[in-house]
């Protein structure tokens, strides 16, 4: 069983922000912004590559509700999912990073030269 499935099953504690029948949102233990919340489906899905359109439709509504309840919708926020090793996915359970609470930068690409990736 993966780490996030254990969190869903309450086998591992988490700082829950929002929960419904199908989704769970909790604070990231290594925040990259003043507000850094992970939103996950309660069913195990490895990554965005495997998610059904129905689950994504529910996830969209859930993240929008999360943004409203945390007041991130007022000034803006970022939603990120990482897919696979090259995409930086560390936990093989679909999750979305919801970041906000400040003007966010995009530092890791600010000085990138596309030629370095070819």
Tell me which residues are annotated as active site.
95
Q: Which residue has the tokens 């600010």?
A: 110
- In a 3-state reduction of DSSP, which class is residue 12? coil
d(CA 15, CA 27): 6
Is the distance from CB of 35 to CB of 70 less than 8 angstroms?
yes
d(CA 7, CA 23): 12
d(CA 64, CA 25): 12
- In a 3-state reduction of DSSP, which class is residue 61? helix
- In a 3-state reduction of DSSP, which class is residue 2? coil
């Amino acid at each position: 069983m993966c780490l996030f499935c254990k969190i869903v099953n309450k086998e591992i504690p988490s700082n829950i922000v929002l929960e419904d029948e199908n989704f769970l949102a909790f604070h990231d233990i290594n925040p990259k912004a003043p507000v850094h919340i992970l939103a996950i489906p309660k069913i195990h899905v490895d990554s965005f590559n495997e998610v059904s359109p129905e689950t994504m439709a529910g996830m969209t509504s859930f993240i929008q509700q999360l943004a409203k309840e945390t007041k991130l919708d007022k000034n803006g926020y970022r939603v990120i999912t990482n897919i696979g090793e090259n995409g930086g996915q560390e936990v093989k359970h679909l999750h979305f990073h919801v970041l906000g609470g400040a003007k966010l930068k995009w530092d890791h690409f600010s000085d990138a030269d596309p030629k370095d990736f070819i």
